[in-house]
Structure formats: structure tokens, C-alpha cells
Amino acid sequence: MPDKEPIPEEEIRIGVYTCQCGGNIGDVVRCTAVAQAAGEFTDVVVSREDMSMCSDAGQALIEADIKERGVNRVVIGACAPSLHEQTFRGTVARAGLNPYFYHHVGLREQASWVHHDDPVGATNKALRLMSAGVAKARLLNPLEPIRLEAHQHALVIGGGVAGLRSALDIARRGIQVTLIEKSPFLGGHMAQLETVFPTHAEARDLLGELIDHVVSHPKITIYTYAELVSVKGYVGDFQIQIRQQSRGVSDDSVDAILAAEMPTVPDEFNYGLSERKIVYRAYPGYYPQTPAVDWANYVDGCVMVDERPLYLQNNPRTFDLTVGAVVVATGFRPYEPRQGEYGYRDLPQVVTLPQLIRLLALTEPGEPLQWHGRSVRNLALIHCVGSRQLDGLNPPQPDGQVNNYCSRVCCTATLQTANELRERYPKLNIFDIYEDIRTYGRGHEAYYTQASQNMVRFLRFHDDELPQVTAAPPEDDYPLLVRVKDYLTWGEELELPVDMVVLAVGMMPNPVHDIIKLLKVAPGTDRFLLEVHPKLRPVETAVAGVVLAGTAQGPMNIQESCAAASAAAAKVAALLSQGQVELEPFVALVNSERCDGSGECVKVCCYEDAITLQTVVVNGREQKRAVVTPANCVGCGVCVSACPNRAIDLQGWSLDQYDAMIDAITADALPEMEYA
């Protein structure tokens, strides 16, 4: 091993590394020419290229140059920083150098991919980008992560299967958990299912087992009928305020009240197919065991016990928590077809798939399938209702957008139901009318195969020629007619007489505008909550310490929801288990000598308490100065542009560094390259 070269104090020695990215860059950019030319830049002591700088061998090259050749600044031209910035920071740190003495240049996205038909131009651009990176590297300063104390306590919002799974996994890692559920009972939509695919296990048995584990865990506290009302603070130290409604019924009066006379309302558990009292229990095996009062429909004196009015009281209580992280598991709601969509709400024989699932649950084995007093002989299932909609063809939602996404779960759920119908009612004629069938999960294709073998009749429509559902003439033997142009029979126009039409509705996010506002998380174009990156950071939001679980972020089946919930729990545990969190140091920094307290930075800042004006004493006089709270700052740079005195900079991305990069990238002359 050669001796380490002596380095004069404060001498800048830059190492430049050009990655071919397995051909993603090297097939277009002449990486050898770029590396050779970059070696001529001032302060560059080594310039290398490699097929894969992120590989163990590539990282070893960088580490060796830092240790043996005295490299104290590193510039790497490779794929997107979001992919390997953490990788290379670790490489630099292992070699004993401050990890922020490294700058990443995105040659793949900024050169090879956008100029794949112009190798010479891409190579020239790559060299200019590397030149700008070297210019910035000369001005890099050692930085330290922002370290904050973290309360080892997590809040989980939502008591469905994803919230329950996440809470249990977090608690099993030794972290205190508070779970809140807006409704009076735990379970969510899983409680409304009888079986789950592809195992056919009893849904409520699985759910009950999970609830038992959650309820009995000593580190989990549960509040039902509770919602978030206030959030302050930042990752590691969120100050949370929760409001909980009273259940309105004490355990010693349950039997008398449940037997009392009182108004009834449509039962949301059965999607309106039955009614329930306004003091109610949700479903068999529900938790908590105490019934709850439906305060939205309660009127004083409407409950009669022994012909005397009983006055129930709702005394909401508000309490505070301090938590280190928040899991958002707010779930979904089935798409509600608009009036007249495939005859929905105009024709009583048109129902949704969730309603049919509950109808089958309410129908005893051996009983005939009946609807509105008629036996169901012919039944049509229509896919993609409320999913994969097209602008100009489908009416938009209230926000002006159509649901252009695939809800993913509906196809398998529809086929599972079709097979159950065939098994229970062998004489039933079933028509499955679809645009596309997407049985993407392991074992899910078997449902399609089984349905075909069960003589389910498949018909395929195009998205611009939707099926039409109309009432049949009074003299017809069937109440409905479904007209469809079937492209499995080369566009044959068919008319199907049926007793019932079932709409396989998609998923929509629960309306959580209050949570979006309180937690400052962002919805995507599909209105589900948005993760930072679907592959690299699949459960994290842009707000540090706030993570997503289950169908809050998109359509998922139960298995996927549980997997996402466990991923969220792992992220929370990694964040809080050490008792402190580390944040990137790329935040605003105020030069108090230049600051005159104008407050322009505070006016433009979009983040609560990120930058404030505070009174300080300077030379015996009280003066206003801008002060940054690093935990609340996201490094957006808006305050930098607003400051009239150039008193604010971003650590790691200062104005001087930008100036140097611009000068380098627009320089008249760069070292010549050989393109061969």
C-alpha cells in the first residue's frame, strides 16, 4: 500500500468519479473522455471512471483515494441523487471524511437519458455538469445532521386492519403506541367481509385475533370515537390534541337501553340493506364491547325505557399527547355511483358489489337469493365502476377530476363473488361484463380460471362504449335489460335480461381534509395521500415523522395493507428506537450581522415556526433578528430570495456555491476531449 501523500493544511484536493451506470450513462456519454478532461480541472487530484461506482468495488476506489491520496472533496457523476446519495455519503464517511464533503451530479437524467440521440452533445453537457460540481465542491463546508430528541411514542390514526397491524408491530418493538379511531368500533371494512382471498379464511376471525393482540398489548392505548384536532411541533416532538366523544351508555345499563324503543337508521355496516337502532353494536365480535350512541341521529328524549324518555349525554373530552411519529391509516371508502349511473338509485335492482357481499352474508345457507321479493335467476356483474374513468366520457367528481386510476382489488373480489354465487346457487346465470380483468396477485388468476369453468359468461366492452342498463318493458319476465357491445364476439351487440345488476365499485380515499391540513401532508392526483417515492421511500410522506399505512395511500387488498402497515411500523421503529432522530442539515442559516429584522423572510415562509422574528440584545440594544428552527425548516430557499440584505443562506446550497456553479457551467472554454 503506498504511503499517504502529505497534504498542506487547508489544501483542497478533489476526487472526481464518473460512472457508466452499467450502460445507462456509458452507452451515450463518453465517460472515459469526461474523466480525462475532468482530471485537468483546478484542485482535482484524481479522476476516475467505473462501470458501477455504487458497487462495492467502485466504493472501494473512492475510499482508497480518500485514505491514500488525501482526497478531501468528492464529486460523483452517476444516476439520480435520490438513488445513491445515502450510499456515497456512507462511503465518504467510512473513509473518515465528513459525509457532506461530497456532491452528486445526475449524469443519467441530465445527460444520457435526455440526449440519447446526440452522444457528442451529451458528453459535452456531462463535462459542464461535472465542472459545476467541482466548482461547488471547492466551497463545501463540513456539516452535521440536525439531531433532535425523539419521544418513543407513536400515534396511529385509524383502527382498520392497517392501523391495527401497524400499532401492534410498533409496540412489539418496545415503543408506546396510541391508536385513535374516528368511529365507535375497531375493524374498518375488513369487518364487513365474510372471507378473504386467496385463502378463504374467515375475515372476522382473522380480524378478531388481530384486535385481541392489539387490545392486550401493554404498550398500546386505544381511543375509539376519537379524532385529531390539533398538531404542533416536528418529528420526534409532535404535540397532539385529541377529542373523544362519549359512548353515552354505561355497562350497567346496556341491556335496558338496547331493548328500549328508539328511532332506527340505515345500517352502514350492511350498506343500507338493513336498519339499526341509534344505540347500537356494530357487528359480531366488535370492540369495544360497550355499545355506542349515534350522536348524529340522536335527539333528546327519543330513547324510551318503560315508556319514559331517557336523556343520554355526550360529554366529549379533549386530551394532549406528545409523540415522536404519526402513522396515517385512514383507509378508504367504496365509490358511490352517481344517481343514474348504470341505473343506480333509479332502478332498485341495481346494487354495488359491497352490498351484494352483505346480502349474501344476510342470506342463510339453503335460502334462495332474493331481491325485492323476486328470486334472482340472471345476474350481471359490471367491472370498473368508479375506476379507470376517462375525461370527457365520465362525469368528474366534485373536485373536477375523474377517477382515472385502477382500484386493483375489484376484479379479484368480483370473481371471488361470482364463484361463491355459482357454488351457492348452481342454477343462477351469471354474466361478467368487463373492460379488462386484472387478477395481479399470487393465486388470483385461479379465480378467473375457476369462474370460466363454472360457466360464468364473460363479455368485454371498450371504455368508450359502456354497457347500458335500463328498465325492461312491464310485460317482460325480467325487470332489467343490459345492452353491451361484446368484443369477445367481435363487437356483437347483446341484450341481457337480468334480475339484478351488481356494480363492482372501486376505492376512493376517505375524506381526510382535516388531517391533511393538520399534518401538512399532500394528496396525489388520485386524492390518496402521497408518498415521497413509490420505490425508495414507499411509506414516508414529505413531512418528517409522518408515515402512511394501507389504503390511505392507494388501493390495496388486505394482504398488501398489512405489508404496508408493517413497513410503516419498521420506519417508525427505526426513527424512534434510538431516542433521537437525525435530519438533513440543508436548512436556512441566518447571518445575524447582516439581518436587520425586516421580517420579509417570515412573510414568505410556508412552514409554521420554521423562521420567526425574535428580540435579541446587540451592543446593549434590543433588536429584531430572524431565527430559524431547523426541525421545521425544509430548505425550500424561499426566505433566501426574499431577504433584502442577503442575510440568509441554505447550508449545503449557498448562494456563493450557486454562483460558482453557474460560472463553471457557462465558462467559455473547457478541457478538450477525445470522443473515440
Quote the CA–CA distance of 361 and 364 in Å, as a whole number: 7
* pLDDT in the model for residue 6: 45
Quote the CA–CA distance of 325 and 322 in Å, as a whole number: 9
Four-way CATH pick for 153-245+316-331+510-580: 3.30.450.30, 3.50.50.60, 3.30.1330.40, 3.30.1600.10: 3.50.50.60
CATH superfamily of 338-508: FAD/NAD(P)-binding domain (3.50.50.60)
The pLDDT tens digits for 288-334 are 999 999 999 999 989 998 888 989 999 999 999 999 999 999 999 99
Residues 316/244, Cβ–Cβ less than 8 Å = yes
Cα–chain-centroid distance for residue 14?
Answer: 40
Burial of 207 (0-12, 13-18, 19+ CB in 10 A): buried
Grid look-up 472515459 returns: 32
Residues 646/661, Cβ–Cβ less than 8 Å = no
What is the domain partition of the chain in residue ranges? 14-143, 153-245+316-331+510-580, 251-280+294-310, 338-508, 588-651
The pLDDT tens digits for 526-569 are 999 999 988 888 999 989 999 999 999 999 999 999 999 999 99
In the structure, what pLDDT confidence band is assigned to residue 573 with cuts at 50, 70 and 90?
Answer: very high
Q: Which stretches within 110-229 are classed as H helix? A: 119-137, 161-171, 203-216
- Residue 264 contacts by C-beta under 8 Å, 6 or more apart in sequence? 275, 276, 277, 278
- Residue 216 contacts by C-beta under 8 Å, 6 or more apart in sequence? none
The beta-strand segments (E) located in 216-356 are: 220-224, 226-234, 237-244, 264-266, 275-277, 279-280, 292-293, 303-305, 308-310, 317-323, 325-328, 332-334, 350-352
Quote the CA–CA distance of 263 and 312 in Å, as a whole number: 14
The pLDDT tens digits for 32-73 are 999 999 999 999 999 999 999 999 999 999 999 999 999 999
**Do the domains 338-508 and 14-143 match in fold?**
no
Four-way CATH pick for 588-651: 2.30.42.10, 3.30.70.260, 3.40.50.880, 3.30.70.20: 3.30.70.20
The pLDDT tens digits for 280-294 are 998 888 899 999 999
The DSSP code sequence of 361-423 is: HHSPTTSPPEETTEE--EEEEEEEETSS--TTTSPPPTTS----S--SSHHHHHHHHHHHHHH
Quote the CA–CA distance of 435 and 431 in Å, as a whole number: 13
Quote the CA–CA distance of 638 and 587 in Å, as a whole number: 11
Quote the CA–CA distance of 385 and 396 in Å, as a whole number: 13
Quote the CA–CA distance of 12 and 326 in Å, as a whole number: 43
CATH classification code of 14-143:
3.40.50
DSSP character for 488?
G
